[in-house]
Amino acid sequence: MKKPDPKVVASNSHKDTFRQLKKYVRVKSAAGARMVEFDFAIDDPGLFVELVMPRTAFEIFCSKNEVVHMTAEQIKAVDDEMDKWRYGEETLMAGNHHRSNQ
């Protein structure tokens, strides 16, 4: 009897792990817009990529990835973290705040 290829077994294991991770979306475009602008995160709503695609493609994407829409609490946490890095006093860019006033 032929032994299973370890590379195939490992690959299938990674696919199963990926499927188990929760995927999040946060729609940023206006309702009814032809193109959907959204954030897509895997496992951690705070670590996301920004994507844009036609509405039909977005619906297929969401279905295939079994996405969950971010909750209001998750959205606030992400926005607060973004503001911290954009306007915070304890960041590398904090010394550049004066430039925006020039």
In single-letter form, the type of residue at position 51 comes to: L
Containing structural domain, residue 34? 22-94
Instruction: State the total domains in the chain.
Output: 1
Task: Tell whether 1 is covered by a domain.
Answer: no
Task: Tell whether 9 is covered by a domain.
Answer: no
Q: 97 pLDDT band (50/70/90 cuts)? A: low
User: Between vectors from CA 35 to CA 32 and to CA 40, what angle results, nearest 5°?
Assistant: 105
Q: What percent of the chain has pLDDT over 70?
A: 72
Task: Tell whether 67 is covered by a domain.
Answer: yes
Task: Tell whether 46 is covered by a domain.
Answer: yes
The C-alpha atoms of residue 31 and residue 79 are separated, in whole angstroms, by 20
Task: Tell whether 51 is covered by a domain.
Answer: yes
* pTM value surpassing 0.85: no
Task: Tell whether 29 is covered by a domain.
Answer: yes
Task: Tell whether 7 is covered by a domain.
Answer: no
The C-alpha atoms of residue 61 and residue 72 are separated, in whole angstroms, by 22
